[in-house]
Amino acid sequence: MLEKLDFIEKKYKELTERSIDPELLKDIKEYQKVMKEHAEIEPIVMKYREYKKYLEELEGAKEMLQEKLDDDMNELVKEEIKELEENIASIEEELKVLLIPKDPNDHKNVIVEIRAGAGGDEAALFAGDLFRMYTRFAERNNWKVEVMSTNEIGIGGYKEVIFMIKGKGAYSKLKFESGVHRVQRVPETEAGGRIHTSTATVAVLPEAEDVDVEINESDLKIDIYRSSGAGGQHVNTTDSAVRITHLPTGIVVSCQDERSQIKNREKAMKILKTRLYDKMLSEQAAEIAEARKSQVGTGDRSERIRTYNFPQGRVTDHRVNLTLHKLNDILDGDIDEIIETLITTDQAEKLKEM
């Protein structure tokens, strides 16, 4: 580990020198690349330098013990050595976590797609509950939410809702939310008071940037049509809805929420790029040692990951065997404890692999 840290510190010094080279400023792309790499390894280098400082202080304290000291001073030095050793052990653990290979998408915005699964209208209502949960979580983090596309039912639920969450590190926090979410509750329409089980699927995709995906216009089939459903008189009487088909993959994206055909097209293209990027990432993951399965899960859309049980007021994440009895708070966006547990478990699995 120390050899690796020495190498990173050396790299950091080289990047620091390059960043102040006037010649580098002539190539903006290369400058941005250097500054990005510099920023990524800086926390590791700062922590490593703190670690080396404590090691030097420990060595100095141990040398003091070899000298003739009075009992009080001897006791003080021993106490200092104990404290330094504890600090060093703690920083070693922090350094191990910092050395875990970073997901290159962690800093990105996300596009979240929620679809009603089994359970008819109840599933659509649950999809609406999940949409509100993630919206409230975004608000708690001061992130922005932009609705991209909706397919609503008349009683306040969604057959499908697609939205973007814009915020630093949004993907790093939400990437483990992909999968099947299950709800157990008595529907308002159920006269007999029987508990029903319904599901909704969640897909969390890192937003594709222009450098990630290149799309040829000749690969696209674009249809313009009249919007349907709620949206006001103007929306329903003009050809503003857009459907884009990516011919090589067969991926189809539709947007009709905006009054402007141009805005609908922009949103549809953003969703298409993100889905193509997600497809590319999935294919790459499948090639890497058959995508090693960690305890947190594979992110498979068909994997049941969480149950929301209303009669007992509990939420259980099945991947980490975590059960919390605060269902209302969680549906109001208080999902930090679940997310932190998933991140910590994932880090532990990666440390084992290292």
Task: Look up the CATH number of the domain holding residue 320.
Answer: 3.30.70.1660
* Pair 91, 50: CB distance under 8 Å: yes
Cα–Cα dist 279/126, whole Å? 27
Residue 117 has pLDDT above 50, yes or no: yes
State the average pLDDT for the chain: 84
Q: Are residues 140 and 12 in the same domain?
A: no
For residue 249, CA distances in Å to 51, 146, 253, 268, 282 come to 50, 26, 12, 16, 14
Which of 65, 98, 131 is the C-terminal boundary of a domain? 98
Residue 157 shares a structural domain with residue 302: yes
pLDDT-derived band at 290, boundaries 50, 70, 90:
very low
Same domain, 303 and 190: yes
pLDDT band at 295 (very low <50, low <70, confident <90, very high): very low
CA distances from 8 to 15, 39, 249 (A): 10, 12, 41
Contact 184, 311 (CB under 8 A): yes
Expressed as residue numbers, the domain containing 161 is 110-211+297-353
pLDDT in tens, 80-97: 999 999 999 999 888 887
- Domain-embedded: residue 62: yes
Specify the CATH number for the domain of residue 281: 3.30.160.20
Please tell me the predicted confidence (pLDDT) of residue 217.
84
Q: Does any domain span residue 292?
A: no
Q: Which of 64, 98, 132 is the last residue of a domain?
A: 98
- One domain for residues 278 and 166: no
In a domain? residue 251: yes
**Domain co-membership, 186 together with 227:** no
Rounded distance between C-alpha atoms, residue 303 and residue 308, angstroms: 15
Range in 149-163, 232-246, 263-277, 334-348 the model is least confident about: 232-246
Note the pLDDT of residue 234.
44
Q: Number of structural domains, the chain? A: 3
